[in-house]
């Protein structure tokens, strides 16, 4: 269509977004009695000098443990626990740049080739000093076989794939996965456009 | 229906948005990726998103002049800000949540980090609100016109009056956080954040005075539409139209 409207430009969330976004409890994806394996995702948000970013907003979106999204377009006949939200918002800690999401391990969702994707969580990151959001994905270190077959991961150069894999911390219960977000440098996190 | 529909919202019109690194806004330099993003196909993970469920959970809280909980009204120039949230084809985006935050009439934010600017707080103004669009994509806030405020980017740097807007839309990729500015603000040409958007698109962030919205003996009216990436209409919808 030639008479399309132009998109409204993005602007930074600035230093004060936490007045409205990312309040207490918003970093919890599912109610405590919900189905699925409970997990925790933590990580640090780091700038080009590897200083922590003290005012980042990390938003996550994921399927439930059966691989169903809490969205009207996902019309598949799979149970959807009413306590499952699927969305979380976390703010990075002012002193350490660490964020924390309490969630359940997502199931596998279809790709567009009739196969299933490896379990993953979609991530949107914004901060003061960022004029646009960036999009990435969290994969899991204990899903090696599924990761190797994943349609999206296979589009990432092999030497950068590890930036998308959260590492399980041994001996944690619920299992804690560490996923750092790095904006620059040799192991800069892979960001996606779609 | 049992098979999900994967809608396509792309491509993001990067040419309409600011660059990631914009040295006039100093903080962007170390907080911008150096690799180009990797283009991936849209799957259900990208074509869905938190918008519908998160909007459904939210409570209406659209009058910032009275939502402080004190029972008293906020100080400053009372304004109405209204407009539509649209897709790129001009279809209204219904039932989507707008979350806003802003400075008070003196340019002061209610935030613990704001310590450098000796402007007064207003005990009757908390500077946050939210509302959902109606069936036609229309939103409406009542608030106080925010003041300009100083920041440390460069000597004598002042941000033009603005209101931060957060919109989720219907998919992951429609996520938009932007700032609404006011027509005629003399600080706009001096502001690196406003000017980070390309010249052809930055005026899309400016609200215009609208006397039809102004309410006699009550509030001045400003109109501003927001255009999200993508098209909501399915092919079937277009046939019906």
Of A69, A129, A190, the CB nearest to B31: A129
Rounded to two decimals, the ipTM of the complex is: 0.96
**pLDDT of B239 higher than 90:** no
Return the pLDDT at A1: 47
List beta partners, residue B106: none
| B230 at interface of A, judged by CB pairs closer than 8 A | no
Catalytic residues of B: 109, 149, 159, 162, 164
The domain total for chain A is: 1
* Residue of B49, B7, B12 whose CA lies nearest to B235: B7
Which positions in chain B touch A151 (Cβ < 8 Å)? 41, 43
- SS3 of B52, please? helix
Give pLDDT, residue B233: 56
Tell me, what's the pLDDT at B13?
Answer: 85
Q: Is the pLDDT of residue B7 over 90?
A: no
User: Which domains, and CATH codes, for chain B?
Assistant: 16-240 (2.60.130.10)
Q: What is the pLDDT of residue B8?
A: 86
CA distances from B196 to A71, B18, B142 (A): 34, 5, 28
Structure confidence by residue, pLDDT tens digits, B16-72: 999 999 999 999 999 999 999 999 999 999 999 999 999 999 999 999 999 999 999
- Closest CB to A8: pick one of B28, B164, B226: B226
Element (H, E) at B221: strand B220-223
Predicted pLDDT at B2: 65
Cβ contact B175–A184 (<8 Å): no
Q: Any bridge partners for residue B163, and if so which? A: B102, B180
Interface of B with A in 165-184 (CB under 8 A): 166, 172-173, 175-179
Specify the residue for token string 């909501």. B232
DSSP string of chain A? Answer: -TTPPPPPPP----TTGGGTSS-TTTTB-B-TT-SS-EEEEEEEEE-TTS-B-TTEEEEEEE--TTS--SSTT---S----TTB--EEEEE--TTT-EEEEEEE-----B-SSSSBPPS-EEEEEEETT-SS-EEEEEEETT-HHHHHH-TTGGGS-GGGGGGGEEEEPTT-SSEEEE--EESSSTTPPP-EE-
Residue B240: what pLDDT?
39
Hey, are the CB atoms on A5 and B227 less than 8 Å from each other?
yes
Q: Kindly identify which residue of chain B lies nearest to residue A113, measuring between CA atoms.
A: B43
**Whole-Å CA distances, A177 to A82, B45, B82:** 25, 20, 43
Contacts of A76 in chain B (CB under 8 A): 2-4
Percent of the residues in chain B that have a pLDDT greater than 70, as a whole number? 95
Contact, B144 vs B104, CB < 8 A? yes
Is A3 within a domain? no
Q: What pLDDT, on the 0 to 100 scale, is given for residue A121? A: 98
Residue A125, domain CATH: 2.60.130.10
**B42–A135 C-beta distance less than 8 A:** no
Residue A74 lies in a domain: yes
> Does the distance separating the beta carbons of A112 and B6 come in below 8 Å?
yes
Within a domain: residue A109?
yes
User: What distance in Å separates the CA atoms of residue A161 and residue A165, rounded to the nearest whole number?
Assistant: 7
Closest CA to A107 of A124, A87, A90, A86: A86
Q: How far B217 CA lies from chain A's nearest CA (Å)?
A: 30
Q: What is the interface size between A and B, counted as CB pairs within 8 Å?
A: 251
Contact between A70 and A83 under an 8 Å Cβ cutoff? The reply is: no
- Distance in Å, alpha carbon of A30 to nearest chain B alpha carbon: 13
| Cross-chain CB nearest to A190 (options B38, B42, B179) | B38
CB contact under 8 A, A132 and B17: yes
Q: Residue B227: helix, strand or coil by DSSP? A: strand
Residues of chain A with pLDDT below 70 are 1-2
Burial of A155 (0-12, 13-18, 19+ CB in 10 A): middle
Of B41, B177, B201, the CB nearest to A6: B201
Mutate to test the interface with A, among B31, B146, B235 (most CBs of A within 10 A): B31
pLDDT at residue B234 in the model: 52
User: What is the span of the domain harbouring residue A104?
Assistant: 17-182
Convert the pLDDT of each residue in B87-136 to its tens digit. 999 999 999 999 999 999 999 999 999 888 999 999 999 999 999 999 99
Q: Helix or strand or coil: residue B226? A: strand
Q: Does residue A23 fall inside a structural domain?
A: yes
Residue B210 structure tokens: 């609208």
Query: What are all long-range contacts of B54-59, with beta carbons under 8 Å and residues at least 24 apart?
Result: B54/A85, B54/A87, B54/B97, B54/B168, B55/B95, B55/B96, B55/B97, B55/B132, B55/B168, B56/B95, B57/A85, B58/B97, B58/B99, B58/B130, B58/B132, B59/B130
Tens digit of each residue's pLDDT (9 = 90 or more) over B75-91: 999 999 999 999 999 99
Ramachandran assignment for B201, one of left (phi > 0), alpha (psi -120 to 50 degrees), beta (any other): alpha
Contact (CB, 8 A) for A40 and A178: no
Per residue in B157-191, pLDDT (tens digit) is 999 999 999 999 999 999 999 999 999 999 999 99
């Amino acid at each position: 269509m030639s008479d399309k409207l132009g998109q409204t430009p993005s602007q930074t969330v600035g230093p004060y977004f936490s007045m409205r976004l990312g309040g207490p409890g918003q970093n919890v994806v599912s109610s405590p009695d919900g189905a699925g394996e409970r997990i925790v995702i933590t990580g640090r948000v780091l700038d080009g000098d590897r200083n922590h970013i003290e005012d980042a907003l990390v938003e996550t979106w994921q399927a439930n443990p059966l691989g169903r999204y809490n969205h009207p377009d996902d019309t598949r006949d799979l149970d959807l626990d009413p306590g499952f939200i699927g969305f979380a918002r976390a703010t990075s800690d002012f002193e350490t740049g660490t964020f924390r999401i309490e969630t359940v391990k997502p199931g596998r969702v279809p790709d567009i080739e009739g196969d299933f994707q490896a379990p993953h969580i979609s991530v949107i990151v914004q901060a003061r000093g960022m004029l646009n959001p960036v999009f990435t994905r969290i994969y899991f270190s204990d899903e090696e076989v599924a990761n190797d077959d994943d349609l999206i991961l296979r589009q990432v150069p092999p030497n950068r794939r590890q930036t998308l894999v959260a590492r399980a911390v041994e001996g944690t219960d619920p299992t804690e996965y560490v996923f750092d977000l790095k904006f620059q440098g040799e192991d800069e996190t892979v960001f996606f456009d779609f | 229906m049992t098979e999900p529909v994967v809608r396509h919202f792309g491509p993001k019109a990067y040419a309409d948005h600011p660059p990631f690194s914009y040295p006039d806004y100093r903080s962007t330099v170390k907080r911008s990726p150096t690799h180009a993003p990797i283009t991936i196909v849209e799957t259900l993970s990208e074509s869905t998103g938190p918008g519908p469920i998160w909007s459904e959970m939210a409570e209406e809280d659209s009058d910032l002049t009275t939502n402080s909980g004190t029972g008293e009204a906020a100080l400053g120039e009372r304004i109405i800000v209204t407009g539509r949230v649209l897709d790129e084809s001009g279809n209204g985006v219904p039932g989507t949540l707008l979350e806003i935050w802003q400075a008070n009439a003196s340019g002061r934010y209610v935030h613990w980090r704001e310590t450098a600017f000796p402007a007064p707080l207003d005990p009757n103004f908390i500077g946050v609100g939210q509302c959902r669009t109606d069936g036609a994509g229309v939103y409406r806030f009542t608030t106080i016109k925010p003041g300009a405020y100083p920041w440390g980017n460069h000597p004598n740097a002042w941000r033009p009056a603005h209101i931060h807007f957060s919109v989720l839309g219907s998919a992951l990729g429609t996520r938009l956080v932007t700032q609404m500015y006011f027509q005629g603000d003399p600080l706009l040409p001096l502001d690196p954040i406003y000017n980070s958007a390309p010249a052809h698109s930055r005026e899309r962030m400016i609200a215009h005075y609208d006397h039809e919205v102004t309410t006699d003996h009550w509030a001045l009216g400003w109109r501003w539409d927001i255009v999200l990436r993508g098209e909501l209409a399915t092919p079937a919808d277009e046939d019906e139209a």
